[in-house]
Amino acid sequence: MGLDDKLKNSAEEKLGAGKEAVGKATDDKDLEAEGKGDQMKGSLKQAGEKVKDAFK
């Protein structure tokens, strides 16, 4: 369960970075903001996984 979650979270961060880059390149502020949001969600989930790992 843990490794799968970590990979999904990392992928979410990477996809968010891609969306942000495309948004910047096309001057699409909505897509750029969505990408930043996806990155933030992925980062928060990663932090949660680290906390869970610390208590194992």
Q: Residue 3 — very low, low, confident or very high, per pLDDT cuts 50/70/90?
A: confident
The candidate with the shortest Cα–Cα distance to 23, out of 36, 10, 39, is 36
Q: Residue 1 — very low, low, confident or very high, per pLDDT cuts 50/70/90?
A: low
The confidence score (pLDDT) of residue 42 equals: 93
Q: Is 28 left (phi over 0), alpha (psi -120 to 50) or beta?
A: beta
Structure tokens at 33: 């903001």
Distances (CA, A) of 15 to 2, 46, 47, 51, 52: 20, 15, 18, 23, 24
* Span 6-38, pLDDT tens digits: 899 899 999 999 999 999 999 999 999 999 999
Q: Residue 39 — very low, low, confident or very high, per pLDDT cuts 50/70/90?
A: very high
